[in-house]
Amino acid sequence: MKKFSKLEAVFWSIALPGFSQLLMGQLWKGTLFVALEFIINVYSHFNSAIMLSFMGEIDKAVHVLNYQWLMFYPCLYMFAMWDAYRTAMPENEELSFLPFVFSAYFVTVGLMYSTKLKLFGVFFGPVFLPMLFVIPGVFTGLLIRWIILKCRKRPVES
């Protein structure tokens, strides 16, 4: 199995869930992630929404999507990224999953509100709003990780 840096593993996973696993020789897992990504992408019409969003037709992007299928996407995407990261990280690294988990939660919530929520008067829609929700998700996960690790290191008073 080829050894990747954590950053390289995450970036290949951002490109397409399962790519990191395939490149690291985890063929079954990588193939499963790629297949699930394609199934969810096709049934949710996500590529159409991405194209429409980048062309500025956010309202059309809202209406082309099948949200029942797309709701699976954030968790699959973040789990595939976490799995790639976990494979590349040192064994003694603790609680590194928290930023990925909270990003999945926040992106899912962002997706749920993406049909109506405006930020600063701007309608970001179902592609850009969930992407923006990654930021508070990562920070929340990092903060919770930092708090837990800090509390673990504190000596117990008797």
pLDDT per position as a tens digit, 106-143: 999 999 999 999 999 999 999 999 999 999 999 999 99
The stretch 5-19 carries a mean pLDDT of: 92
Confidence (pTM): 0.88
d(CA 19, CA 30): 6
pLDDT per position as a tens digit, 29-47: 999 999 999 999 999 999 9
Is pLDDT above 90 for 154?
A: no
Closest CA to 100 of 118, 84, 114, 116: 84
pLDDT per position as a tens digit, 61-103: 999 999 999 999 999 999 999 999 999 888 899 999 999 999 9
